Structure formats: structure tokens, C-alpha cells
Amino acid sequence: MGSFRKNLLVRDPEGLRQQFFDKIDEPHFPCVGAKSALARGTLKVLEGHNIASAWDDVHIHRALLEWAQEYRRDPSGFRSLAIIFEQPLDLDERAFEAAMWQRLQSLADKDHWLGQPYDHRVSPDPSDPHFSLSFGQEAFFVVGLHPNASRPARRFQNPTLVFNLHDQFERLREEGRYERMRKAIIERDVKLAGDPNPMLAEHGRASEARQYSGRQVSADWRCPFHDPRAQ
């Protein structure tokens, strides 16, 4: 875990990591992409102190820059970077969503301050159907998990943000594999939850920002995020 781990306040980092791996490895866990990353050893887990605090934001942003650089050196396979926070454990869905966007806003502000260009392949406008976050000039989308998520696939004992590289899904589309994977995930999620996730949308039809927290949001929901690089 390197220098990142030295600056984080966690009581049992190895235990949290293994518990997260165990969740991904559950037979009925729907995300086959995460399962692939776990099997390949490219699901990286770092531990943070508090998702409602900026305590670890500098270190998280540094990890994202390194993750983007590593991907450009070797874009093969599927990979994810998960940040597991020690606390708080009692956030409801709205409180988790608010804390998540606070962290993402802080990370975007740092990317801008360091002069990192926005990934030109995506939009910085969270209302745009082609929106994605951008760190280290690579587009990312986020999957949030926490103890009180309404969707079973989004429940984990600690607040967690999983950063996925947008480009790896574009590569799957080019290879004709993306729709098969998406269909498999939806079918597995329905089997787990008993009904389809109402927040899922096909790429290019609705902003992915609506999916990040896992909460079902209304049609008039406005994303509380503004990237300073947006024109």
C-alpha cells in the first residue's frame, strides 16, 4: 500500500480488504467486471478514514493519478480502484450521496489545481449523457457502496467508492463485448434483488452521474457537482 497507507487512520486495513474481496467473490454478486478484476489481481483496495472528511483527499487523488498512468502504460484487462472508508457506518442513502459528491468535488478541484486537463473524450457537465469524471486526464465513473444501500449489490459494511476507467468500457464496445457483459450484470442483479435497477441507462441516453451513489433519484434530480474545468 506504500506511502498512501502510512497516512491513513484505519484499525484493520487487511481485514477490510479481504472482506471486500469476499463480497465480490460471492456467487450471486452481479458485477462480472469486478469479478474479472479480482481474478486477475487488478482490483486494488486502499483504505480511508472518513468519507465525510477531506482528511485523505490528497492521498486518494495521488492514487488516482498513479492509477491513470499505470493504465496508459498497460491498458489490457479490466481493473478497478476501491477506496474503503472506516466510517461513518450509519449514513442513510441521502447522506452517503452527499458525502460521496463532496469527496468527488474535492478530488476534481485538486486535479484542476494541478493543471490536469480534462479527458476530451467525455463531458465535464454532470447533466450531459456523456459525462464522466476525469483524473490524470483519464475518465472515470464511480460505484458507491455502503451499509444502508437499497440495492443489495450496493451494500457493503463500510462506505466505499470504486473508481472504474471509462476507456476500458469503450474498448469492450469496440470489441463487441460490452453489451454481453452489461446484459449479464443486469440479469444477475435482477436475480439478486428481485427487480431491475431503475437507475441503469444505456450509454449516451442519460448521465452516469445519476448511478454513482446507488440511490434512486427523481427525474428532476440535479447533481451537486461542478468541475472547475467545465466551460
| Residue 82: φ, ψ to 5° | -110, 135
Q: How confident is the model at residue 10 (pLDDT cuts 50, 70, 90)?
A: very low
Query: Does the pLDDT of residue 5 top 80, yes or no?
Result: no
Q: Is the predicted pLDDT of residue 12 greater than 60, yes or no? A: no
Secondary structure in 3-state letters for 9-54 = CCCCHHHHHHHHHHHHHCCCCCCHHHHHHHHHCCEEEEEEEECCCC
Highest mean pLDDT range out of 68-82, 176-190, 195-209? 68-82
- pLDDT (0 to 100) of residue 201: 61
The fraction of the chain above a pLDDT of 70, given in percent, is 92
Q: What cell numbers appear for 38 in the block?
A: 479480482
Lowest mean pLDDT of 23-27, 80-84, 120-124, 169-173, name the range. 169-173
Tell me the CA distances in angstroms from 98 to 70, 124, 143, 169, 212, one per residue in order.
Answer: 30, 19, 14, 27, 11
176 compared with 117, residue with greater pLDDT: 117
pLDDT in tens, 123-154: 999 999 999 999 999 999 999 999 999 999 99
Whole-number average pLDDT of the chain: 90
The average pLDDT across 115-120 equals 97
pLDDT at residue 53 in the model: 97
Mean pLDDT value across residues 47-74:
96
Distance separating alpha carbons of residues 42 and 34, to the nearest angstrom: 9
Q: What is the mean pLDDT of residues 159-183?
A: 89
Query: What angle do the packed helices 93-113 and 57-73 form, to 10 degrees?
Result: 70
For range 152-177, the mean pLDDT: 92
Chain centroid, CA 26 distance in Å: 19
